[in-house]
Amino acid sequence: MSLFALFYMLFAYLLGSISSAILICRLTGLPDPRQNGSHNPGATNVLRIGNRKSALAVLIFDMLKGMIPVWAGYYLGLTQFELGMVALGACLGHIFPIFFQFKGGKGVATAFGAIAPISWTIAGSMFGTWIFVFLVSGYSSLSAVISALLVPFYVWWFKPEFTFPVALVCCLLIYRHHDNVQRLWRGQEDKVWAKFKKK
């Protein structure tokens, strides 16, 4: 990697470190997502403890954190490998944010945003997998884990030159969901729609 690409990856990490879930909850008067619900600062938990508009705002912001640096990287002349590492940097920032004691979200939305400029076909396959599993199971975490397991194969098929960095991103996503996997195994994981059924 070039020196410029390393600094640009650092920029992507810093951008990814901006936690939209925490900031939007503060601005809208919602509880701290790190202390309520699933204790995860992400769109799904904001939906649980707040409302759909706030969750949608978090989702869009988190996707843009990954999308903007990778998209801009194309115009800055970064190599394919460097673009993949920039995507990894944005996801690392979201998962381990320097501005919030390195305790961040699960990284799914940011990963989706980072993959989209690389290939809309891969992003569409990832989104389709997530939606299908979610509609069948009702579990956001299960959807994320299965999508993360399959995305490296989608990348290998459509854009093999990005397989290594994207596989690293997916390993991070699976690692961040290890608690969810344990709860799923024990039958203790909450479905996203549970909140609305209680109303």
Contact 87, 6 (CB under 8 A): no
Q: Render pLDDT for 75-103 as a digit per residue (tens, 0 to 9).
A: 999 998 899 899 999 999 999 999 988 88
Q: Render pLDDT for 151-175 as a digit per residue (tens, 0 to 9).
A: 999 999 998 888 888 898 899 889 8
Q: Which residues contact 190 (CB under 8 A, 6 or more apart)?
A: 38, 48
Q: What are the boundaries of each domain within the chain?
A: 3-197
In sequence order, what DSSP letters do the residues of 3-39 get, joined into one string? HHHHHHHHHHHHHHTS-HHHHHHHHHTPPPTTTSTTS
| Single-letter amino acid code for the residue at 84 | G
